[in-house]
Amino acid sequence: MIINELRNKFIAKKEYEPTNSNELLDFARQTYIRGELCLSEYRNIIRILEKEGASKPDYCEQESINL
């Protein structure tokens, strides 16, 4: 799945355009957790979105430190 497909899936589900790359990053994570993306697709999408400036929310980074 490429970013355009993910964006179209986002629009179909949420019924609005994503306002930034962070929204798509969160949506990609949810899609992966639901089993709708394989790991390689998920990693590729994350890599592209992070290059566009997307970042994980602070609470995600704090949770990984506490583990």
**pLDDT band, residue 67 (cuts 50/70/90):** very low
State both tokens at 36.
Answer: 């709708």
**What residue ranges do the domains of the chain occupy?**
3-66
pTM of the model: 0.78
**pLDDT band, residue 2 (cuts 50/70/90):** confident
Residues 6 or more apart whose Cβ sits within 8 Å of residue 48: 3
Name the packing angle between helices 21-33 and 39-51 (round to 10°).
170
Single-letter amino acid code for the residue at 7: R
**H-helix or E-strand containing 35?**
none
Average pLDDT over residues 31-35: 94
Q: Which letter, b or e, does each residue of 11-20 get, where b requires 16 or more Cβ atoms within 10 Å of its Cβ? A: eeeeeeebee
